[in-house]
């Protein structure tokens, strides 16, 4: 029995499917914006990379949780 991902990671399969890039691509982009606030990175992903709000927020939340920021 496999555990389903919880929290922000539960969005990863749909992000990969919808935007055609592996999740590491999106996580690396968000990691590269470490000087910005959470919502600034969300808005950047939405405006520059055309991600939906929920998907962008999940990516940023995951990155912030792994770095403690």
Establish if 10 belongs to a structural domain: no
Residue 8 forms part of a structural domain: no
Q: What is the pLDDT averaged over residues 8-28?
A: 96
Q: What is the pTM of this model?
A: 0.89
DSSP annotation of 62: H
**pLDDT(8) > 80:** yes
Domain membership of residue 61 as a residue range: 23-67
Quick check: is 16 in a domain? no
CB 11 within 8 A of CB 3: no
List, for residues 40-61, the tens digit of each pLDDT value: 999 999 999 999 999 999 999 9
Residue 7: pLDDT band with limits 50, 70, 90: confident
Number of domains in the chain: 1
Task: State the alpha helices, DSSP H only, in the chain.
Answer: 12-19, 23-31, 38-49, 53-67
Q: What is the mean pLDDT of the segment spanning 11-37?
A: 96
Could you count the other beta carbons within 10 Å of the beta carbon of residue 47? 10
Domain annotation covers residue 9: no
| Average pLDDT score over residue span 10-26 | 97
The verdict on residue 38 lying in a domain is yes
């Amino acid at each position: 029995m496999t555990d389903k991902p919880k929290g922000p990671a539960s969005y990863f399969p749909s992000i990969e499917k919808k935007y055609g890039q592996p999740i590491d691509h999106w996580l690396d982009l968000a990691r590269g914006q470490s000087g910005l606030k959470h919502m600034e990175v969300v808005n950047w992903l939405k405006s520059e990379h055309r991600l939906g709000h929920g998907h962008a927020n999940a990516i940023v939340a995951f990155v912030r949780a792994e770095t403690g920021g």
